[in-house]
Amino acid sequence: MTAVRTDENPSAPAPENRAPLLEISGLTVSYGRRATALRRAGSTRVLSGVDLTVRAGEILGIIGETGSGKTTLARATVGLVRPDAGEIGFEGRDVTRLSRRDLRGFRRTGRVQYMFQDPLRSQDPELTVRQVVAEPLASVGAATRQERARRADEALTLVGLDAGALGPRTPAQLSGGQRQRVSLARAIVTRPRLLLSDEPVSALDASNRNLVLSLLDRLRRELDLAVVVISHDLSSLAGIADRVAVLYRGRLVEQGPISEVLEHPRHPYTALLTASAPSVRREHRLLPAQLRPDPVLAAGRTPWPDDEGCVFAPRCRFAGPACREEPAAVPVPVPIPVPASGTAAPTPVETAARTAPETAARATARPTATRLPSPAGGPDPSRPHHTVACHHAATWRGGLG
Ligand SMILES: Nc1ncnc2c1ncn2[C@@H]1O[C@H](COP(=O)(O)OP(=O)(O)O)[C@@H](O)[C@H]1O
Ligand code: SF4
Ligand SMILES: [Mg+2]
């Protein structure tokens, strides 16, 4: 059995040192007529080439504005949406290659659970709370009704609800915060390895919000659960996520450890998000106005054509000719300690940026991740721990007013 890292067991491996549980690569999803390699007409692409890794016991936050593709990413991961391209590896198996029958079988294992954005959607108003929570157990083949009721009560207790008092009620007789916790109990009743929680706190008041977030944090430790928390609000992720992935119009523009991403955002869109979130600490106190296109300059600029180059270019203050080419996600150079006697050697990205800023990121568009310093026993070096998709990631701060 895997050693679970808890406050009582701090010697167990930290999440970032464990094997990936979920590995998504090149995930592309369209709605409408099914797209092929040759045809996109009639379909709308909502995810493009998304790469993502989630490890056991970690919380990954996915942030992005409404319509950026967060829900689609979660639905594709549980097999509710068929992708056009890419792989979704869960425990070593590619979910995208499963037949319909095998996909149903995979969902019935209950090892991956998806918590819908709206708790009422997953809670049948005709059922009691106990029945709502026990429902997923029927499909995983949990024995008797009594056994299912016992496990439902156990799950309700784990999320801090009084199973005896609330179990016989209907969802409509609960408060919004209690309903969200019932959703959580229902999601963990099958003891999943991975939980995808879609906007779990967006409809809650501040106290219920904190309660649900700290519950997620406690459950991932107690159940050794990997949790993906989807949110359009960066500040709700700040307290609990280990890593964060930033989606913008279906592209993953930056991902990395949450403290690094919040304090040193490398993508202009992430910087705008952190600057606009009042409760998030910001590096050098950047202001949204410093990051938005200058209205005077923007008025004289030819409008950026849709679907050309960088997806953020129409809103980016730092867009230049290089941005007409879509930037690839490249590893962010880890800050290297400066020796007392001099300065550290520049990283490949920095060197390229100094010599030819416009082509810096392209020059390193597909670098081998072995360039990244990796502490012994640290994260898998074949997966860079912090990536950014911006041609000017190393230089745009120099253009701040
Ligand atoms: N079933 C669907 N059919 C067609 N378009 C959809 C469907 N679901 C979502 N979309 C579109 O896909 C885009 C991404 O949606 P979604 O994944 O729900 O984003 P988010 O969760 O970030 O708000 C949006 O433009 C949305 O209108
Ligand atoms: S690639 Fe260019 S347009 Fe896109 S975020 Fe970077 S600077 Fe802005
Ligand atoms: Mg959504």
What pLDDT, on the 0 to 100 scale, is given for residue 368? 30
Atom of ligand 2 nearest to the CA of 313: 3
Ligand 1: residues with CB < 6 A are 31, 46, 64, 66-72
Indicate whether 110 pLDDT > 50: yes
**Pair of tokens at residue 307:** 């679907």
Q: What integer pLDDT is reported at residue 371 of this predicted model?
A: 32
Work out the number of other CB atoms within 10 angstroms of the CB of residue 245. Answer: 27
Residue 9 tokens read as 């067991």
Closest-CA residue, ligand 2 atom 5, reads 390
Give the model confidence (pLDDT) of 297-355 as tens digits: 777 777 777 778 999 999 999 999 999 999 999 998 655 444 444 343 443 333 333 33
Q: How far is the CA of 61 from the centre of ligand 1 (A)?
A: 19
**Best mutation site among 251, 269, 273, 396 for ligand 2, i.e. most ligand atoms within 8 A of its Cβ?**
396
Do 185 and 133 form a contact (C-beta atoms < 8 A)? yes
pLDDT value at position 281?
64
- For residues 29, 35, 37, 39, the Cα torsion angle rounded to the nearest 10 degrees is -140
> What's residue 242's pLDDT?
95
| Residue in this structure with the two tokens 């009639």, named with its chain if needed | 42
Q: Which ligand is nearest to the CA of 365?
A: 2
Question: Does residue 318 line the site of ligand 2, with CB under 6 A?
Answer: yes
pTM: 0.84
* Closest Cα to atom 10 of ligand 1: 31
362 band by pLDDT with thresholds 50, 70 and 90: very low
What value does the mean pLDDT take over residues 349-370?
A: 33
If we measure between CA atoms, which residue out of 253, 249, 307, 305 comes closest to residue 41? 307
Q: What is the pLDDT of residue 369?
A: 30
User: What is the rounded (10 degree) CA torsion for 151, 153, 155, 157?
Assistant: -140
Nearest partner of 63 among 193, 264, 232, 279, judged by Cα: 232
Backbone angles phi, psi at 205, to 5 degrees: -80, 170
Q: Which atom of ligand 2 is nearest to the CA of 316?
A: 8
Mind listing the pLDDT tens digit for each residue in 254-302?
Answer: 999 998 998 889 999 999 998 888 766 665 678 888 888 887 777 777 7
Domain assignments of the chain as residue spans, ordered by start: 15-248, 291-337+344-366+385-399
Ligand 2 mutation target, pool 391, 395, 396, 400, most atoms within 8 A of CB: 391
Q: Residue 357 pLDDT more than 50?
A: no
Sheet holding 59-63, edge to edge: 112-115, 194-198, 226-231, 59-63, 243-248, 251-257, 387-388, 330-331
DSSP secondary structure, 129-165, as one string: HHHHHHHHHHHTT---HHHHHHHHHHHHHHTT--HHH
User: CATH number of 15-248: 3.40.30.160, 2.102.10.10, 3.40.50.300, 3.90.1170.40?
Assistant: 3.40.50.300
The whole-number pLDDT of residue 171 equals: 94
Give the pLDDT confidence score for residue 121 in this predicted structure. 74
